[in-house]
A = this chain, B = another copy of it.
Amino acid sequence: MKPSDRRTAEGILYTDQYQLTMAQLYYRMGLHEKWAQFDYFFRSYPNYGSHRAGYCINAGLEWLVDWMQEARFREEDLAYLRGQVGRTGRRLFGDDFLDWLRENGHFGAISMRAIPEGRVVHPNVPLVVVRGPLAMAQILETPLLNHLNYQTLIATKAARIHEIGRGRTLLEFGLRRAQERAALAGARAALIGGADFTSNVGISHVLGYPPKGTHAHSMVQIFMALGEGELGAFRAYAEVYPDDCLLLVDTINTLESGVPNAIRVFEELRRKGHEPVGIRLDSGDLAYLSIQAARMLDEAGFPNTVIVLSNQLDELVIWEIITQIQKEAPRYGVDPDRLINRLVYGVGTRLITSEGAPALDGVYKLVAVRDGGEWVPAIKISETPEKTLNPGDKRVWRLYDRRGKATADLLSLQDEDPRQMEQVVLRHPTDHTAYRVLARSDISEVEPLLVDVLQEGRLVYEFPPLEEIRRLRQADMERLDAGVKRIINPHVYHVSLTEKLWNLKQEVIRNVKRET
Protein backbone atom coordinates (compact mmCIF):
# COMPACT_ATOMS: atom_id res chain seq x y z
CA MET A 1 0.00 0.00 0.00
CA LYS A 2 1.27 3.47 -0.84
CA PRO A 3 1.91 5.74 2.18
CA SER A 4 -0.82 8.21 1.19
CA ASP A 5 -3.30 5.35 0.85
CA ARG A 6 -2.23 4.08 4.25
CA ARG A 7 -2.99 7.45 5.83
CA THR A 8 -6.47 7.29 4.31
CA ALA A 9 -7.09 3.71 5.34
CA GLU A 10 -5.90 4.36 8.91
CA GLY A 11 -7.71 7.66 9.36
CA ILE A 12 -11.31 8.31 10.28
CA LEU A 13 -12.47 5.78 7.66
CA TYR A 14 -10.81 3.02 9.71
CA THR A 15 -14.30 1.93 10.70
CA ASP A 16 -17.20 -0.17 9.45
CA GLN A 17 -19.52 1.15 6.80
CA TYR A 18 -22.58 0.62 8.99
CA GLN A 19 -21.25 3.05 11.57
CA LEU A 20 -21.45 5.76 8.91
CA THR A 21 -24.89 4.81 7.64
CA MET A 22 -26.16 4.65 11.24
CA ALA A 23 -24.57 8.02 11.99
CA GLN A 24 -26.44 9.52 9.04
CA LEU A 25 -29.64 7.91 10.22
CA TYR A 26 -29.16 9.49 13.66
CA TYR A 27 -28.52 12.78 11.93
CA ARG A 28 -31.73 12.53 9.92
CA MET A 29 -33.72 11.59 13.00
CA GLY A 30 -32.20 14.43 15.03
CA LEU A 31 -30.52 11.95 17.38
CA HIS A 32 -26.91 12.50 16.31
CA GLU A 33 -26.06 14.87 19.14
CA LYS A 34 -28.07 13.07 21.77
CA TRP A 35 -25.68 11.96 24.48
CA ALA A 36 -25.03 8.28 24.70
CA GLN A 37 -22.84 6.06 26.84
CA PHE A 38 -21.09 2.92 25.66
CA ASP A 39 -19.13 0.35 27.70
CA TYR A 40 -16.18 -1.55 26.29
CA PHE A 41 -15.70 -4.95 27.91
CA PHE A 42 -14.79 -8.48 26.93
CA ARG A 43 -17.07 -11.41 27.57
CA SER A 44 -14.64 -14.25 28.19
CA TYR A 45 -10.97 -14.90 28.83
CA PRO A 46 -8.94 -16.17 25.88
CA ASN A 47 -9.45 -19.91 25.55
CA TYR A 48 -6.47 -21.52 23.83
CA GLY A 49 -8.12 -24.89 23.38
CA SER A 50 -6.31 -27.13 25.82
CA HIS A 51 -5.77 -24.26 28.28
CA ARG A 52 -7.28 -20.90 29.04
CA ALA A 53 -6.59 -17.64 30.83
CA GLY A 54 -8.02 -16.76 34.25
CA TYR A 55 -7.18 -13.06 33.92
CA CYS A 56 -6.31 -10.54 31.23
CA ILE A 57 -3.79 -7.70 31.12
CA ASN A 58 -5.32 -4.46 29.96
CA ALA A 59 -3.49 -2.78 27.05
CA GLY A 60 -4.00 -0.57 24.01
CA LEU A 61 -5.48 2.57 25.54
CA GLU A 62 -2.70 5.03 24.72
CA TRP A 63 -2.58 4.07 21.07
CA LEU A 64 -6.35 4.29 20.82
CA VAL A 65 -6.30 7.83 22.21
CA ASP A 66 -3.42 8.73 19.88
CA TRP A 67 -5.59 7.56 16.99
CA MET A 68 -8.64 9.47 18.25
CA GLN A 69 -6.69 12.68 18.52
CA GLU A 70 -5.58 12.51 14.89
CA ALA A 71 -8.70 11.12 13.22
CA ARG A 72 -11.19 13.50 11.62
CA PHE A 73 -13.12 13.70 8.38
CA ARG A 74 -10.86 15.37 5.84
CA GLU A 75 -12.14 16.77 2.55
CA GLU A 76 -10.80 13.69 0.82
CA ASP A 77 -12.77 11.40 3.13
CA LEU A 78 -15.94 13.43 2.60
CA ALA A 79 -15.40 13.35 -1.16
CA TYR A 80 -15.23 9.59 -1.00
CA LEU A 81 -18.48 9.40 0.96
CA ARG A 82 -20.08 11.86 -1.45
CA GLY A 83 -19.30 9.41 -4.25
CA GLN A 84 -20.89 6.39 -2.56
CA VAL A 85 -24.11 5.22 -4.12
CA GLY A 86 -26.76 2.73 -3.06
CA ARG A 87 -28.36 -0.06 -5.01
CA THR A 88 -30.32 2.21 -7.32
CA GLY A 89 -27.39 4.49 -8.05
CA ARG A 90 -28.59 7.27 -5.75
CA ARG A 91 -26.12 8.88 -3.38
CA LEU A 92 -25.92 7.18 -0.01
CA PHE A 93 -24.82 10.21 2.02
CA GLY A 94 -26.48 13.63 1.79
CA ASP A 95 -24.66 16.95 1.70
CA ASP A 96 -26.31 18.08 4.94
CA PHE A 97 -24.87 15.11 6.82
CA LEU A 98 -21.47 15.51 5.15
CA ASP A 99 -21.48 19.19 6.13
CA TRP A 100 -22.19 18.16 9.70
CA LEU A 101 -19.28 15.68 9.53
CA ARG A 102 -16.99 18.38 8.18
CA GLU A 103 -17.61 20.42 11.33
CA ASN A 104 -18.20 17.70 13.89
CA GLY A 105 -16.56 14.62 12.45
CA HIS A 106 -13.90 14.21 15.11
CA PHE A 107 -13.73 13.00 18.70
CA GLY A 108 -13.47 16.41 20.31
CA ALA A 109 -16.74 15.98 22.20
CA ILE A 110 -16.03 12.50 23.57
CA SER A 111 -15.43 11.86 27.26
CA MET A 112 -13.76 8.67 28.35
CA ARG A 113 -13.02 6.86 31.57
CA ALA A 114 -10.82 3.77 31.50
CA ILE A 115 -8.90 1.24 33.53
CA PRO A 116 -5.16 2.00 33.11
CA GLU A 117 -3.00 -0.18 30.91
CA GLY A 118 -1.11 -2.94 32.66
CA ARG A 119 -3.89 -3.64 35.14
CA VAL A 120 -5.24 -7.16 35.54
CA VAL A 121 -8.81 -7.16 34.18
CA HIS A 122 -11.74 -9.55 33.99
CA PRO A 123 -14.81 -10.27 31.81
CA ASN A 124 -17.90 -8.04 31.81
CA VAL A 125 -16.08 -5.25 33.59
CA PRO A 126 -16.17 -1.94 31.66
CA LEU A 127 -12.54 -1.31 30.73
CA VAL A 128 -13.44 1.85 28.86
CA VAL A 129 -16.57 3.96 29.26
CA VAL A 130 -17.30 6.35 26.39
CA ARG A 131 -19.77 9.19 26.64
CA GLY A 132 -20.51 11.58 23.83
CA PRO A 133 -22.79 12.66 21.01
CA LEU A 134 -24.36 9.53 19.57
CA ALA A 135 -23.11 9.80 15.97
CA MET A 136 -19.41 10.11 16.80
CA ALA A 137 -19.59 7.69 19.72
CA GLN A 138 -21.08 5.18 17.27
CA ILE A 139 -18.40 5.73 14.61
CA LEU A 140 -15.79 5.15 17.33
CA GLU A 141 -16.99 1.62 18.01
CA THR A 142 -14.98 -0.20 15.38
CA PRO A 143 -11.61 1.57 15.78
CA LEU A 144 -11.91 1.35 19.57
CA LEU A 145 -12.46 -2.39 19.43
CA ASN A 146 -9.70 -2.79 16.87
CA HIS A 147 -7.16 -0.97 19.02
CA LEU A 148 -8.05 -2.50 22.38
CA ASN A 149 -8.95 -6.11 21.66
CA TYR A 150 -5.61 -7.10 20.19
CA GLN A 151 -3.24 -5.46 22.67
CA THR A 152 -5.12 -6.91 25.64
CA LEU A 153 -5.02 -10.31 23.97
CA ILE A 154 -1.26 -10.19 23.49
CA ALA A 155 -0.43 -8.64 26.86
CA THR A 156 -2.37 -11.50 28.41
CA LYS A 157 -0.49 -14.15 26.47
CA ALA A 158 2.83 -12.53 27.37
CA ALA A 159 1.91 -12.48 31.06
CA ARG A 160 1.16 -16.20 30.97
CA ILE A 161 4.49 -16.97 29.30
CA HIS A 162 6.33 -14.67 31.71
CA GLU A 163 4.71 -16.40 34.70
CA ILE A 164 5.49 -19.93 33.56
CA GLY A 165 9.06 -18.95 32.70
CA ARG A 166 9.62 -17.94 36.32
CA GLY A 167 10.21 -14.36 35.26
CA ARG A 168 13.38 -15.24 33.32
CA THR A 169 14.18 -12.97 30.37
CA LEU A 170 11.52 -13.20 27.68
CA LEU A 171 12.25 -11.94 24.16
CA GLU A 172 9.50 -11.14 21.66
CA PHE A 173 10.58 -12.48 18.25
CA GLY A 174 7.29 -12.41 16.30
CA LEU A 175 7.67 -9.79 13.56
CA ARG A 176 8.08 -12.24 10.69
CA ARG A 177 5.02 -14.32 11.55
CA ALA A 178 2.83 -11.59 12.99
CA GLN A 179 -0.41 -10.70 11.27
CA GLU A 180 1.36 -8.00 9.24
CA ARG A 181 1.29 -4.54 10.91
CA ALA A 182 -0.08 -6.13 14.10
CA ALA A 183 3.59 -6.73 14.82
CA LEU A 184 3.90 -3.20 16.20
CA ALA A 185 0.97 -3.19 18.62
CA GLY A 186 1.79 -6.81 19.42
CA ALA A 187 5.36 -6.03 20.42
CA ARG A 188 4.20 -3.18 22.64
CA ALA A 189 1.53 -5.35 24.25
CA ALA A 190 4.04 -8.16 24.79
CA LEU A 191 6.32 -5.72 26.62
CA ILE A 192 3.39 -4.61 28.78
CA GLY A 193 2.44 -8.19 29.56
CA GLY A 194 5.84 -9.55 30.43
CA ALA A 195 8.29 -9.65 27.53
CA ASP A 196 11.52 -7.88 28.45
CA PHE A 197 12.69 -7.00 24.95
CA THR A 198 11.66 -7.41 21.33
CA SER A 199 13.71 -8.14 18.22
CA ASN A 200 11.62 -5.54 16.34
CA VAL A 201 13.98 -2.61 15.77
CA GLY A 202 11.47 0.05 14.78
CA ILE A 203 9.10 -0.44 17.67
CA SER A 204 12.03 -0.68 20.08
CA HIS A 205 13.17 2.70 18.83
CA VAL A 206 9.71 4.22 19.27
CA LEU A 207 9.27 2.76 22.75
CA GLY A 208 12.79 3.50 23.91
CA TYR A 209 13.79 -0.10 24.45
CA PRO A 210 17.00 -1.66 23.17
CA PRO A 211 16.13 -4.32 20.54
CA LYS A 212 17.63 -7.77 21.02
CA GLY A 213 18.81 -10.47 18.67
CA THR A 214 21.49 -13.02 17.90
CA HIS A 215 22.13 -14.24 14.37
CA ALA A 216 20.38 -16.50 11.88
CA HIS A 217 21.16 -19.84 10.32
CA SER A 218 21.77 -18.04 7.05
CA MET A 219 24.93 -16.46 8.46
CA VAL A 220 26.37 -19.91 9.15
CA GLN A 221 25.20 -21.11 5.75
CA ILE A 222 26.99 -18.24 4.01
CA PHE A 223 30.27 -19.17 5.64
CA MET A 224 29.68 -22.82 4.83
CA ALA A 225 28.97 -22.04 1.19
CA LEU A 226 32.21 -20.04 1.10
CA GLY A 227 34.12 -22.98 2.58
CA GLU A 228 34.73 -21.49 6.02
CA GLY A 229 32.22 -23.59 7.89
CA GLU A 230 30.37 -23.00 11.13
CA LEU A 231 33.57 -22.29 13.01
CA GLY A 232 34.44 -19.55 10.54
CA ALA A 233 31.01 -18.01 11.04
CA PHE A 234 31.33 -18.10 14.83
CA ARG A 235 34.80 -16.58 14.72
CA ALA A 236 33.59 -13.77 12.51
CA TYR A 237 30.74 -13.06 14.92
CA ALA A 238 33.09 -13.07 17.91
CA GLU A 239 35.44 -10.74 16.11
CA VAL A 240 32.74 -8.19 15.31
CA TYR A 241 30.81 -8.51 18.58
CA PRO A 242 33.39 -9.63 21.15
CA ASP A 243 31.35 -8.41 24.12
CA ASP A 244 27.95 -9.46 22.80
CA CYS A 245 28.75 -12.90 21.47
CA LEU A 246 25.67 -15.11 21.43
CA LEU A 247 25.94 -17.98 18.95
CA LEU A 248 23.21 -20.01 17.26
CA VAL A 249 24.50 -23.56 17.53
CA ASP A 250 21.97 -25.75 15.67
CA THR A 251 22.65 -25.07 12.01
CA ILE A 252 24.47 -28.39 11.49
CA ASN A 253 24.32 -30.48 14.64
CA THR A 254 23.92 -28.91 18.05
CA LEU A 255 25.98 -31.22 20.24
CA GLU A 256 28.46 -32.54 17.69
CA SER A 257 29.27 -29.30 15.95
CA GLY A 258 27.53 -26.19 17.26
CA VAL A 259 28.32 -26.30 20.97
CA PRO A 260 31.93 -27.52 20.53
CA ASN A 261 32.59 -24.78 17.96
CA ALA A 262 30.98 -22.20 20.21
CA ILE A 263 33.15 -23.28 23.15
CA ARG A 264 36.25 -23.05 21.01
CA VAL A 265 35.35 -19.50 20.01
CA PHE A 266 34.43 -18.62 23.60
CA GLU A 267 37.88 -19.77 24.72
CA GLU A 268 39.51 -17.64 22.05
CA LEU A 269 37.38 -14.67 23.16
CA ARG A 270 38.32 -15.11 26.78
CA ARG A 271 41.99 -15.20 25.92
CA LYS A 272 41.45 -11.79 24.36
CA GLY A 273 39.76 -10.55 27.53
CA HIS A 274 36.11 -10.85 26.54
CA GLU A 275 33.39 -12.87 28.22
CA PRO A 276 30.90 -14.60 25.89
CA VAL A 277 27.16 -14.10 26.37
CA GLY A 278 25.91 -17.56 25.46
CA ILE A 279 24.28 -19.78 22.88
CA ARG A 280 20.88 -20.17 21.23
CA LEU A 281 19.07 -23.43 20.53
CA ASP A 282 16.37 -23.25 17.86
CA SER A 283 15.43 -26.86 17.05
CA GLY A 284 15.22 -30.35 18.42
CA ASP A 285 14.47 -31.44 21.99
CA LEU A 286 15.17 -28.16 23.73
CA ALA A 287 15.09 -29.65 27.24
CA TYR A 288 17.55 -32.43 26.43
CA LEU A 289 19.79 -30.20 24.34
CA SER A 290 19.89 -27.45 26.96
CA ILE A 291 20.93 -29.97 29.62
CA GLN A 292 23.71 -31.31 27.41
CA ALA A 293 24.79 -27.86 26.28
CA ALA A 294 24.83 -26.63 29.89
CA ARG A 295 26.96 -29.59 30.89
CA MET A 296 29.41 -28.94 28.07
CA LEU A 297 29.56 -25.20 28.78
CA ASP A 298 30.05 -25.83 32.51
CA GLU A 299 32.83 -28.30 31.89
CA ALA A 300 34.54 -25.88 29.52
CA GLY A 301 34.46 -23.17 32.17
CA PHE A 302 31.53 -21.10 30.92
CA PRO A 303 28.92 -21.67 33.64
CA ASN A 304 27.63 -18.09 33.42
CA THR A 305 26.69 -18.10 29.76
CA VAL A 306 22.99 -17.96 28.99
CA ILE A 307 21.10 -20.46 26.88
CA VAL A 308 18.47 -18.86 24.69
CA LEU A 309 15.67 -21.19 23.62
CA SER A 310 13.44 -20.53 20.61
CA ASN A 311 11.23 -22.48 18.17
CA GLN A 312 7.47 -22.51 18.59
CA LEU A 313 7.55 -21.73 22.30
CA ASP A 314 4.48 -20.87 24.31
CA GLU A 315 3.44 -21.30 27.95
CA LEU A 316 2.78 -25.04 27.58
CA VAL A 317 6.03 -25.79 25.77
CA ILE A 318 8.06 -23.80 28.31
CA TRP A 319 6.27 -25.53 31.16
CA GLU A 320 7.18 -28.87 29.63
CA ILE A 321 10.81 -27.89 29.06
CA ILE A 322 11.15 -26.81 32.70
CA THR A 323 9.42 -29.95 33.92
CA GLN A 324 11.68 -32.17 31.81
CA ILE A 325 14.81 -30.33 32.96
CA GLN A 326 13.82 -30.76 36.59
CA LYS A 327 13.41 -34.46 36.05
CA GLU A 328 16.35 -35.21 33.79
CA ALA A 329 19.12 -32.71 34.52
CA PRO A 330 20.33 -34.39 37.76
CA ARG A 331 21.00 -37.63 35.91
CA TYR A 332 23.59 -35.75 33.82
CA GLY A 333 25.08 -34.00 36.83
CA VAL A 334 23.44 -30.68 35.96
CA ASP A 335 21.69 -28.68 38.69
CA PRO A 336 18.18 -28.13 37.26
CA ASP A 337 17.52 -24.84 39.07
CA ARG A 338 20.82 -23.37 37.96
CA LEU A 339 20.05 -24.40 34.40
CA ILE A 340 16.51 -22.99 34.49
CA ASN A 341 17.89 -19.73 35.82
CA ARG A 342 20.25 -19.35 32.88
CA LEU A 343 17.53 -19.87 30.28
CA VAL A 344 16.21 -17.05 28.13
CA TYR A 345 13.06 -17.54 26.05
CA GLY A 346 12.68 -16.22 22.51
CA VAL A 347 8.99 -16.44 21.70
CA GLY A 348 7.65 -15.67 18.25
CA THR A 349 4.52 -16.83 16.45
CA ARG A 350 2.56 -18.17 19.36
CA LEU A 351 2.86 -14.96 21.35
CA ILE A 352 2.38 -12.35 18.61
CA THR A 353 -0.67 -14.17 17.18
CA SER A 354 -2.00 -15.50 20.51
CA GLU A 355 -2.16 -18.90 18.89
CA GLY A 356 -5.22 -20.89 19.91
CA ALA A 357 -7.19 -17.72 20.65
CA PRO A 358 -6.30 -15.14 18.01
CA ALA A 359 -9.01 -12.63 19.01
CA LEU A 360 -10.42 -11.21 22.21
CA ASP A 361 -14.20 -11.03 22.20
CA GLY A 362 -14.35 -7.42 23.34
CA VAL A 363 -17.56 -5.54 22.60
CA TYR A 364 -18.76 -1.94 22.80
CA LYS A 365 -22.33 -1.70 23.96
CA LEU A 366 -24.81 1.09 24.45
CA VAL A 367 -25.66 1.21 28.16
CA ALA A 368 -27.43 4.56 28.50
CA VAL A 369 -28.85 7.39 26.46
CA ARG A 370 -29.75 10.88 27.63
CA ASP A 371 -33.33 11.84 26.94
CA GLY A 372 -35.01 15.01 28.16
CA GLY A 373 -32.27 15.72 30.69
CA GLU A 374 -32.39 12.20 32.13
CA TRP A 375 -30.02 9.29 31.51
CA VAL A 376 -32.06 6.27 30.45
CA PRO A 377 -30.34 2.92 30.97
CA ALA A 378 -30.25 0.85 27.79
CA ILE A 379 -30.00 -2.89 27.56
CA LYS A 380 -29.74 -5.67 25.04
CA ILE A 381 -31.38 -8.83 26.24
CA SER A 382 -29.93 -12.03 24.91
CA GLU A 383 -31.26 -15.54 24.87
CA THR A 384 -27.90 -16.35 26.45
CA PRO A 385 -28.31 -14.75 29.91
CA GLU A 386 -24.57 -14.04 30.27
CA LYS A 387 -24.81 -11.83 27.19
CA THR A 388 -27.49 -9.58 28.68
CA LEU A 389 -25.89 -6.21 29.35
CA ASN A 390 -25.31 -4.57 32.70
CA PRO A 391 -27.10 -1.29 32.00
CA GLY A 392 -26.46 2.29 33.03
CA ASP A 393 -23.61 4.46 34.21
CA LYS A 394 -21.45 2.34 36.47
CA ARG A 395 -18.39 2.47 38.68
CA VAL A 396 -15.86 -0.34 38.93
CA TRP A 397 -14.24 -1.38 42.21
CA ARG A 398 -11.68 -3.99 43.11
CA LEU A 399 -11.97 -5.59 46.55
CA TYR A 400 -8.92 -7.03 48.29
CA ASP A 401 -9.21 -9.62 51.04
CA ARG A 402 -7.33 -9.65 54.35
CA ARG A 403 -4.28 -11.22 52.68
CA GLY A 404 -4.23 -8.29 50.26
CA LYS A 405 -5.26 -10.50 47.37
CA ALA A 406 -7.88 -9.32 44.89
CA THR A 407 -11.06 -11.19 45.71
CA ALA A 408 -13.65 -9.61 43.37
CA ASP A 409 -14.37 -6.82 40.94
CA LEU A 410 -17.60 -5.06 41.79
CA LEU A 411 -19.78 -3.01 39.44
CA SER A 412 -21.92 -0.40 41.16
CA LEU A 413 -24.14 2.47 40.18
CA GLN A 414 -22.51 5.87 39.90
CA ASP A 415 -23.85 7.08 43.26
CA GLU A 416 -22.61 4.07 45.23
CA ASP A 417 -19.33 3.77 47.09
CA PRO A 418 -18.51 0.42 48.69
CA ARG A 419 -15.92 2.18 50.84
CA GLN A 420 -18.86 3.65 52.75
CA MET A 421 -20.73 0.35 53.13
CA GLU A 422 -20.89 -1.64 56.37
CA GLN A 423 -21.03 -4.79 54.38
CA VAL A 424 -20.83 -5.43 50.67
CA VAL A 425 -23.28 -7.70 48.88
CA LEU A 426 -21.78 -9.23 45.76
CA ARG A 427 -24.47 -10.34 43.35
CA HIS A 428 -23.75 -12.81 40.56
CA PRO A 429 -24.45 -10.97 37.28
CA THR A 430 -27.13 -13.40 36.10
CA ASP A 431 -27.88 -16.06 38.73
CA HIS A 432 -30.23 -14.55 41.31
CA THR A 433 -29.53 -17.34 43.80
CA ALA A 434 -25.78 -16.69 43.85
CA TYR A 435 -24.41 -13.94 46.03
CA ARG A 436 -21.71 -13.35 48.60
CA VAL A 437 -21.74 -10.98 51.58
CA LEU A 438 -18.46 -9.49 52.73
CA ALA A 439 -18.17 -7.63 56.02
CA ARG A 440 -16.16 -4.45 55.68
CA SER A 441 -13.64 -5.99 58.08
CA ASP A 442 -12.99 -8.82 55.60
CA ILE A 443 -11.95 -6.28 53.00
CA SER A 444 -8.47 -4.80 53.33
CA GLU A 445 -8.92 -2.33 50.47
CA VAL A 446 -11.55 -1.09 48.05
CA GLU A 447 -9.97 0.37 44.95
CA PRO A 448 -11.77 2.33 42.23
CA LEU A 449 -10.43 1.17 38.86
CA LEU A 450 -11.65 3.69 36.30
CA VAL A 451 -9.75 6.94 35.78
CA ASP A 452 -10.68 9.97 33.69
CA VAL A 453 -8.87 9.98 30.37
CA LEU A 454 -10.75 12.39 28.11
CA GLN A 455 -13.12 15.16 29.09
CA GLU A 456 -14.96 16.35 25.99
CA GLY A 457 -11.96 15.50 23.87
CA ARG A 458 -9.40 17.06 26.19
CA LEU A 459 -6.75 14.69 27.49
CA VAL A 460 -6.86 14.83 31.29
CA TYR A 461 -4.74 11.76 31.91
CA GLU A 462 -1.00 11.44 31.72
CA PHE A 463 -0.14 8.21 29.98
CA PRO A 464 2.52 6.51 32.07
CA PRO A 465 5.77 5.33 30.50
CA LEU A 466 5.96 1.67 29.56
CA GLU A 467 8.10 0.87 32.59
CA GLU A 468 5.36 2.17 34.87
CA ILE A 469 2.73 0.13 33.02
CA ARG A 470 4.92 -2.94 33.51
CA ARG A 471 5.17 -2.20 37.22
CA LEU A 472 1.38 -1.95 37.47
CA ARG A 473 1.09 -5.34 35.80
CA GLN A 474 3.66 -6.87 38.11
CA ALA A 475 1.95 -5.45 41.19
CA ASP A 476 -1.46 -6.70 40.06
CA MET A 477 -0.08 -10.14 39.29
CA GLU A 478 1.32 -10.34 42.80
CA ARG A 479 -2.08 -9.50 44.25
CA LEU A 480 -3.80 -12.18 42.17
CA ASP A 481 -4.59 -15.51 43.82
CA ALA A 482 -2.33 -18.35 42.64
CA GLY A 483 -5.39 -20.34 41.59
CA VAL A 484 -6.49 -17.60 39.19
CA LYS A 485 -3.01 -17.59 37.65
CA ARG A 486 -3.00 -21.31 36.86
CA ILE A 487 -2.49 -21.80 33.14
CA ILE A 488 -4.90 -24.73 32.97
CA ASN A 489 -8.32 -24.69 34.65
CA PRO A 490 -7.82 -21.48 36.60
CA HIS A 491 -10.14 -20.49 39.44
CA VAL A 492 -12.98 -18.27 38.33
CA TYR A 493 -12.43 -14.74 39.61
CA HIS A 494 -15.62 -13.06 40.82
CA VAL A 495 -17.10 -10.16 38.90
CA SER A 496 -20.19 -9.06 40.79
CA LEU A 497 -22.92 -6.43 40.87
CA THR A 498 -24.06 -4.40 43.85
CA GLU A 499 -27.59 -4.95 45.05
CA LYS A 500 -28.68 -1.63 43.52
CA LEU A 501 -27.19 -2.38 40.11
CA TRP A 502 -28.73 -5.85 40.20
CA ASN A 503 -32.13 -4.33 40.95
CA LEU A 504 -31.79 -1.78 38.15
CA LYS A 505 -30.85 -4.54 35.70
CA GLN A 506 -33.93 -6.56 36.63
CA GLU A 507 -36.13 -3.51 36.26
CA VAL A 508 -34.76 -2.65 32.82
CA ILE A 509 -35.20 -6.25 31.69
CA ARG A 510 -38.80 -6.24 32.91
CA ASN A 511 -39.50 -2.99 31.07
CA VAL A 512 -38.13 -4.30 27.81
CA LYS A 513 -40.05 -7.56 28.10
CA ARG A 514 -43.23 -5.66 28.85
CA GLU A 515 -42.81 -3.48 25.77
CA THR A 516 -42.14 -6.25 23.29
Task: Mark interface residues in A500-515 (1 if CB within 8 Å of B CB, else 0).
Answer: 0000000000001001
B378 touches A225 (CB 8 A): yes
With an 8 Å Cβ cutoff, the count of chain A residues facing the other chain is 128
How far is it, in angstroms, between the C-alpha of A90 and the C-alpha of B240 when the chains are bound? 12
Task: Mark interface residues in A13-41 (1 if CB within 8 Å of B CB, else 0).
Answer: 11111111110111011010000101000
B243 touches A88 (CB 8 A): yes
A358 touches B369 (CB 8 A): no
How many chain copies?
A: 2
Task: Mark interface residues in A249-271 (1 if CB within 8 Å of B CB, else 0).
Answer: 00111001100000000000000
Give chain B residues whose Cβ lies under 8 Å from the Cβ of A151.
180
B175 touches A185 (CB 8 A): no
Q: Does A181 contact B (CB under 8 A)?
A: yes
Q: Does A141 contact B (CB under 8 A)?
A: yes
Give chain B residues whose Cβ lies under 8 Å from the Cβ of A24.
240
B180 touches A257 (CB 8 A): no
Q: Does A516 contact B (CB under 8 A)?
A: yes
Give chain B residues whose Cβ lies under 8 Å from the Cβ of A219.
22, 25
A284 touches B383 (CB 8 A): yes
Give chain B residues whose Cβ lies under 8 Å from the Cβ of A221.
366, 378-380
Q: Does A341 contact B (CB under 8 A)?
A: no
Q: Does A333 contact B (CB under 8 A)?
A: no
B277 touches A87 (CB 8 A): yes
How far is it, in angstroms, between the C-alpha of A27 and the C-alpha of B36 when the chains are bound? 60
Task: Mark interface residues in A85-112 (1 if CB within 8 Å of B CB, else 0).
Answer: 1111010100000000000000000000
Q: Does A217 contact B (CB under 8 A)?
A: yes
Q: Does A167 contact B (CB under 8 A)?
A: no
B176 touches A515 (CB 8 A): no
How far is it, in angstroms, between the C-alpha of A200 and the C-alpha of B8 when the chains are bound? 12
Q: Please name the 6 residue pairs, one residue from A and one from B, whose CB atoms are nearest each other, closest first.
A: A18-B213, A181-B181, A17-B213, A13-B202, A179-B182, A9-B202
